[in-house]
Structure 1
Amino acid sequence: MKYMLLVCGDDTADASDMAPVEPWVEELSVRRGVRLHGHRLRPPADAVTVRVRGGEVLRSDGPFAETKEYVAGFDILECDSLEEAVEAAVKHPVAALGAMEVRAFWDDEDAEGEIRRLDAELTTAGRERDFDRAMACYAPDVEVFHPVSGLEQRGIDALRKAEEVWFSTLSGPVEREVLEFQVRVDESIAFSHALVRIRATPVSGDALDTTARVTTGYRLTGDRWLIVHQHTSVPFDTGVPGAMGV
């Protein structure tokens, strides 16, 4: 489960002897893999507070409330339990001077499931030769390294054209079998790594059967996950005995 740590500073506290935050970030991010990301915030004096009352926009410089405590930054953790998140908060240097508010995210979304369903759409679209269905999985500004042309295709129109050229060399559907699929999801960005077996029949009559490594980047757009980057690597003969490159 994901947890938000709100790092609350205190204007009245003496922070001159506070331990550096970098070791805490290193421990949770690199060694334990618990901290997904986080960032400092500008001080309350730089804040702008906006209210709308009766259709009128009321804007004021400064924080929402005048208080000695303020949110100085945030960290997003992925922990097995609330106790693990609290343990991480206790070790944050600011906890000794201010406060750490630990709050769980609403657990009502299945981002990984949505991404897996999106990948399944690509499989179905290839089998049915449905370009519209396939292109609906991609963002308008997608960047794809296309395995056929060997070039980067930028934008949905360029990708569609490359796909149409590829399918024109095939006499039937494309069977796409995902052998391995690993997903890493953040709040609005996700990545997947997969081994994908592609089988098809070219118009020449020869059989096409190859396995590719596909790395895909996703972005949450509104309430939908879309593919914004995709790199497909296929094996080729390097000419060196016993060696295979991609």
Structure 2
Amino acid sequence: MNTKHATAEQQQQIRSVLDDWAQASQAKDVERIISHYADDIVAFDAVGPLRFVGRDAYKAHWDFCMTVCPGPSLFELHQPTILVSGELAVSYALLHCGGTNEQGQMESSWMRVTQCLQQFGGQWRIVHEHFSAPFDMESGKASFDLQP
């Protein structure tokens, strides 16, 4: 994990939040996932509407996503970079995510994720999250076969 302009304590705190968020996502523990978001989270997910506003709306989306992918899942941050300035931090990384299909085979792709965090009462919370997948401009289809 690359970190810039962050104290060792800030690095550890933010790393812990992001690691637990990723582990909770892989474990499909929606309550634990949501615990890392601020109440007024604004999220731009790769799936669904243009944006989600508020923790309740985003929780409903996470609940929906878990029903679409009922089997074992994959959710791994790849070389996240963290930038910190005061009580604000930004993390960006590639995300390898996927789930098992009806035949029990893992289907996965690489996506991009950016998360903005803010410190509230000593706790880092995600205040903005943006997932995206690159797409081919000619076909209009997502490029899920790209590799880092």
TM-score range, shorter chain: 0.7 to 0.9
Counterpart AA for 1:191: V
The match for 1:160 is 59
- 1:133 alignment partner, SS class: helix
- 1:238 alignment partner, SS class: coil
Q: Residues 141 and 112 (structure 1 numbering): CA distance in 2 closer, same or farther, change over 3 Å? A: same
1:219-234 matches, cutoff 5 A: 219-234=118-133
Question: Which of structures 1 and 2 has the bigger CA Rg?
Answer: 1
Q: Does 1:181 align with 2:83?
A: no
Q: TM-score when scaled to structure 2?
A: 0.82
Q: Deviations over 1:184-221 (max 9, x none)?
A: 11111111111111121245866431111111100000
Q: TM-score when scaled to structure 1?
A: 0.51
Deviation at 1:138, TM superposition (A): 0.4
For residues 177 and 122 of structure 1, the distance between their equivalents in structure 2, rounded to whole angstroms, comes to 10
For residues 204 and 221 of structure 1, the distance between their equivalents in structure 2, rounded to whole angstroms, comes to 44
Q: Does 1:218 align with 2:117?
A: yes
Q: Deviations over 1:74-129 (max 9, x none)?
A: xxxx6xxxxxxxxxxxxxxxxxxxxxxxxxxxx7x611211111111112112221
Percentage of pairs with the same residue: 27
2:136 to 217, 220, 237: 237
196-205 or 209-218, which deviates more: 196-205
For residues 136 and 165 of structure 1, the distance between their equivalents in structure 2, rounded to whole angstroms, comes to 17
For residues 116 and 72 of structure 2, the distance between their equivalents in structure 1, rounded to whole angstroms, comes to 25
Deviation at 1:167, TM superposition (A): 1.0
Higher relative contact order (CA 8 A, sep 6+): 2
